[in-house]
Amino acid sequence: MTLALFLQHLANALSLGSLYALIAIGYTMVYGILRLINFAHGDVFMLGAYLAFYSVATFMLPWWGALLLAVLLTAAFGVGLEWVAYRPLRDSPRISVMISAIGASFLIENVAIVLFGGRPKGVTVPDVMNVKLTLGGVSIMSVSLVIPIITFVALAVLLWVVQRTRVGMAMRAVSTDLDAARLQAIDVNRIVSFTFGTGSLLAGVGGIMWSYKYPQLNPLMGVMPGLKCFIAAVIGGIGNIPGAVLGGFLLGGIELLTIAFLPTLTGYRDAFAFVLLIVVLLVKPSGLLGGAAVEKV
């Protein structure tokens, strides 16, 4: 393999990894606060892509207007989802909440199939995102360069919010102990809504970027990326935002580089993440950057 080819694969891996990272952040934030796998996160991702598509195709908005509108709507949808499907179960066993999450995920997917149709839709990629950049034999589309930038900006902003602002302090408090936080006069429901809003917003951005990178939409497009990004969050240490980003990059890198070096394994691509998950869970369940959790009796 030549150096240029290797760099090409590496560039692709970075681009895919940063996309995974963007979605993994949402998983990790929600899990950090509520100890809940938001199974519907991947479907929120799908919804973001569809909303942007319809904003352009039906309402003739310019692409940036569509992006803005879709992202805001997705964030609102995430808040609403928590309100309907998770808030009533705040004090229920975790299994019930998880079943509710699975139910919500299937509901969104099936409503999407009914509303949007099961046939894949082609996305018109805005010209800015569709420029081919070449540097020393490595060529990528401009969208592949935009995604890592978005991911790192999002990471920086989130770290600032979580570590430096009052909302962030409240988030950390809720994450440590929900009941104790409530006793400190923290409005837990507002913090949870804020978390879901932010996570869904990033999922929306991720979905739209995904649709620019792979310009085809279908109602089940969020399932696989959703599962993989959850795995990325687990690899990095769930509940840890930089960990989610690290996990996203690792997963993207392992997926693409394995295929690059061992092309016979291409068909098994979707299984890598799950094998990695089982290995990580067995070797270091708290993930790479996660602290060891103490089991309370």
**Residues at the site binding other proteins, with contacts judged by CB under 8 A:** 35-37, 85, 88-89, 92, 94-96, 98-100, 102-104, 106-107, 110-111, 113-114, 118, 220, 223, 227, 230-231, 234, 267-268, 270-271, 273-275, 277-278, 281-282, 285, 297
Q: Shortest Cβ distance from residue 11 to other proteins (Å)?
A: 26
Q: Shortest Cβ distance from residue 232 to other proteins (Å)?
A: 12
Of residues 24 and 36, the one with the C-beta less far from other proteins: 36
Q: Which residues contact 45 (CB under 8 A, 6 or more apart)?
A: 23, 203, 204, 206, 207, 210, 221, 222, 225, 226
Q: Shortest Cβ distance from residue 270 to other proteins (Å)?
A: 5
Q: Return the sign of the alpha-carbon dihedral for residues 208, 210, 213, 219.
A: negative
Q: Which amino acid is at 61?
A: L
Q: Which conformational region is residue 6 in: left (phi greater than 0), alpha (psi within -120 to 50 degrees), or beta?
A: alpha
Q: What is the DSSP string of 110-144?
A: HHHHHHH-SS-EE----GGGG-EEEETTEEEEHHH
Of residues 156 and 224, the one with the C-beta less far from other proteins: 224
Of residues 142 and 286, the one with the C-beta less far from other proteins: 286
Burial group, residue 238, by CB count within 10 angstroms (0-12, 13-18, 19+): buried
Of residues 59 and 274, the one with the C-beta less far from other proteins: 274
CA distance 247 to 280: 11
Q: Shortest Cβ distance from residue 103 to other proteins (Å)?
A: 4
Of residues 60 and 95, the one with the C-beta less far from other proteins: 95
Q: Which residues contact 92 (CB under 8 A, 6 or more apart)?
A: none
Q: Shortest Cβ distance from residue 4 to other proteins (Å)?
A: 30
Q: Shortest Cβ distance from residue 96 to other proteins (Å)?
A: 6
Of residues 89 and 167, the one with the C-beta less far from other proteins: 89
Residues linked to residue 129 through DSSP beta bridges, in sequence order: none
Q: Shortest Cβ distance from residue 75 to other proteins (Å)?
A: 22
Contact between 196 and 87 under an 8 Å Cβ cutoff? The reply is no
CA distance 89 to 290: 27
